[in-house]
Structure 1
Amino acid sequence: MGIAVKEFLAEHSRQWSPKTVGQNRAYLDILIEYFGPDRLLGTITKQDANEVKKVLQALPASRNTKPKLKAMPLMQAIKEPGHNKIAPKTINSHIQMFKSFFDWAERHGYAPHTLFDGMKVAKAKNSETERKPFSPDQACLLYNELTENPSGLVRKDSHKWGMLLGMFTGARLNEICQLDVADVQVNGDIWFLNITDEGDDNKRLKTTAGRRKVPLHSELISIGFLDFVKSRKSGMRLFPDYSYSANGGYGRNLGRWCNESFLPKLGMKEPGLVFHSLRHTVVTRLSQASVPEPIIQCLVGHARSGVTQEVYNREGFTLKQLQEAVNCLAPHRKN
């Protein structure tokens, strides 16, 4: 098993970010620890896979952070009382990786069959950790604080514009924080963000669908975003004060400020509300404005699905179409 896992990771790691490689290696280490590195994949049965699932359901959430648990063998750690278990979503992430590995192993002759298909657990309903959109009133409060700064909480232009780009584009945290000045472009009279992994060697996109052009909302332009971009022309990066971290890319600083300082001090820190909620908000409001789903997928970097989109509309949508969709978002100003 150990050799097969090593080959699987070597083959796929070129397509994954360093963070994803580390995460998937940790998932597969559970399999190696449970079965042993010398176990032949062909001897692992569906019943064995079911036992692994039971182990995952009993796995302490803090096993990799608490020294006592980290030092324990797997089967001992799952019996240690007084610890929260990993969430259903995390269990399913493990199971999906195990399934991908056994699919690969079957195709490459390491195993006679695939395993872990259809074995995901049900997600908890109304989970407190489920991310959710900001309400219209909350969005207005955020917008007012970011543009007028009445509470004095916004002390950096990078915090201001990083948050506002999240509010009006739905881009992911790291996609925003790794932007170069040259990524703010114009075609005719349409200004847009060219979200790409080109340039800095540390720039990463979550998926190939993440490579996209997102027109700037008219509100961003009217409140001075292009002036901010012009002020950064002497450098390469739009937000040079966001340093790179192997764990969180360039987004760690802004994410921490938003989630641990800005939202709590505004009395807005509640379960499910984090920086990523800006993305949820954009998707929700565009859907409510009757923007077609394929256009929403293009704007936020989700893969378009279905024959019409994958085969016949490979060219995608025009910047004009995307601009009209983006401007369906309310400007968040109070009347």
Structure 2
Amino acid sequence: MPRKPDPEMAYLTVHDGLYRVSMGVPKELRSQLGSRLVKSTGTKSKGQAKIARDRIVPEFKKKIEDAWKARGGKRGSLLAEALETRKLLETASDDLADFMIKGALERSDEILDEGATWVDEPTPDGVFPVRRPTPEAVKAVTEFRRVLAGDTPIAFHHQAFVDGLKIKPRSKLDEPRALSILLDWLEANDIEPFIENINKRNAIRFLDWLDADTNLSWASKAKYFGRIKFYWSWLARREYAKENPFADLNLDKPETERADDERPYTDAEVQKLLMGSPMEGDRMRDVMMIAALTGARLDAVIDLKVGGLFDGYFTFKAQKKERDVRDVPVHPDLDEIVARRIAGKAPEDDLFPEWPGPPSTSVKPRSSYFSKRYTKYTSDIGVRDEEVGRRRSKINFHSWRRWFITKLERARVREPLIAAIVGHKRPGMTLGLYSGGPEFLEAQEAIALVKLPPLDGSPVVEERSLMPRRRS
């Protein structure tokens, strides 16, 4: 018989040693809010976490309630009723329309009656009872009448918009986050979440707030603002909105945050990472080694199958703008890892079964859990390069790829060959379109030129870089 959940621990989970509050989101709202609302309590104390939970849970419930409202209400709700009535009015005959409008007015009176108080007020004709409805009822009726008159909740068309996007499922996760940011701002500024309320003035106010008053990095601000702009472009094209007030608005990129500030690992950092003792042991170290000596991206490494190792080369799945799988010769220093990991396994078996992916219903990549553990490992041993206001460290797992490319360049390997090995677009029509690619043996010899720093603790002598931007 399954154990009953502890009511005292409702909504509380533990992540990386800290309690956090987690609440599931109704399926209909996941295009707006994602699958779960999660917020860390910032404490390891159960008692303190329960206090924080009692504050966070009402916030989450309010967020879900507002999301229903922005979508058009729950099935059977007042907003949903108003939208359904408006839809029927569009094709109703004059007599039916008059009947439906009369019914809507009666429905408004019913709402105003709920919880209302009656007071006797004198008039020239005598004393008569006057209804004093609650503020909540007045607000509900105002929204009801606005929807009947033609106003549309902002999220009403959002699911159709998301469904029609030709992008990867993981990228679609940015859509509910972006919409949630806008809805939160509207709520904070007491602006009803209707498409018709987003005029040029409010669009500029939202942009100014997003730029100045949020803790997001510039890249995240630009991404989310771009998704809102694209949604409104979609609405305007279908005449669900009169115009796109975000069309000519953009976030200015600060000069202090440059994408090319991210850098390769130094040899000393590589030595420290490979000689360290991650909690995961070889299952993390083997991934680092393959990334270091192939230049492959994390997801391509984690997703390797035993059958993707034949005749001395890895076959990595296509990533980014690659059109097909990519073969990369096995570096001699990886022979032991490869032999150990393929022993006794079938071709369809995972090379890294220790790193399972998220549930099948999730759109996150299989490498997402490794990525979190790797970030913790690099933080624990101090291999980070962080600046205030930056979204992430200047060095991260992608720095293995940068280190590998740097080593190939310093070994005097031709640029077109480097591009072919790491899956970058090769320059020009001649090599990029017509060539069948470099010779496998040449790539094998080039990769063997990449040398790891000593892994016995010997001092590392860093090679001097020509690029000034790499200086500390």
**Structure 2 length as normaliser, TM-score?**
0.50
Relative to 1, partners in 2 of residues 1:185 and 1:3: Cα closer, same or farther, differing over 3 Å? farther
How many residue pairs match? The answer is: 286
Aligned residue type for 1:184: L
Partner secondary structure for residue 173 of structure 2: helix
Q: Select the structure of larger CA radius of gyration.
A: 2
Determine helix, strand or coil for the equivalent of 1:193: strand
Q: Distance in 2 between matches of 1:118 and 1:310?
A: 40
2:315 to 183, 190, 193: 193
Residues in 1 aligned to 2:244 and 2:430: alpha-carbon distance in whole angstroms = 33
Residue 192 (structure 1) shift: 2.2
CA contact (8 A) 1:232 1:238 kept: no
Pick aligned residue for 2:349 from 236, 248, 253: 236
Q: Distance in 1 between matches of 2:254 and 2:421?
A: 28
Higher RCO structure, 1 or 2 (CA under 8 Å, sep 6+)? 1
- Superposed structure 1 runs of 4+ greater than 6 Å apart: none
| Correspondent of 1:21 among 162, 165, 172 | 172
TM-score normalised per structure 1: 0.67
Secondary structure of 1:224's match?
helix
Residue of structure 2 equivalent to 1:78: none
In structure 2, the residue matched to 1:170 is 295
Of 39, 42, 47, the residue aligned with 2:195 is 39
Other-structure match for 1:51: 205
Percentage of pairs with the same residue: 17
Q: 1:251 aligns with which of 339, 357, 367?
A: 367
Structure 2 residue aligned with 1:329, among 444, 450, 453? 450
**What does 1:1-335 align with in structure 2 at a 5 Å threshold?**
1-12=154-165, 15-17=167-169, 19-32=170-183, 34=186, 37-40=193-196, 44-45=199-200, 47-60=201-214, 85-105=215-235, 108=238, 110=240, 112=243, 115-116=246-247, 119-123=250-254, 125=256, 131-143=262-274, 145=275, 153=278, 156-186=281-311, 190-196=312-318, 207-209=320-322, 211-221=324-334, 223-231=335-343, 233-234=345-346, 236-245=349-358, 246=362, 248-261=364-377, 263-264=378-379, 266-271=381-386, 272=393, 273-289=395-411, 296=418, 298-301=420-423, 304=425, 308=429, 312-313=433-434, 319=440, 322-323=443-444, 326-333=447-454
Distance 1:298 1:103 in 2: 38
| CA RMSD, Structure 1 to Structure 2 (Å) | 4.0
Q: In the alignment, is the contact (CA less than 8 A) between 2:199 and 2:245 conserved in 1?
A: no
Gaps of 5+ in 1: 61-84, 146-150, 197-204
Letter of the 1:242 counterpart: W
Q: CA deviation at 1:209?
A: 2.2
Q: What is the distance in 1 between the residues matched to 2:294 and 2:349?
A: 21
- Distance of aligned partners of 1:7 and 1:289 in 2 relative to their CA distance in 1, 3 Å threshold: farther
Asked if the contact 1:169–1:300 (Cα under 8 Å) also holds between the matched residues in 2, the reply is yes
Q: Secondary structure at the match of 1:2?
A: coil
Higher share in strand: 2
- Offset of 1:253 from its aligned partner? 4.0
Secondary structure of 1:209's match? coil
Contact 1:184 1:194 in 2 (8 A): no
Distance 1:214 1:114 in 2: 47
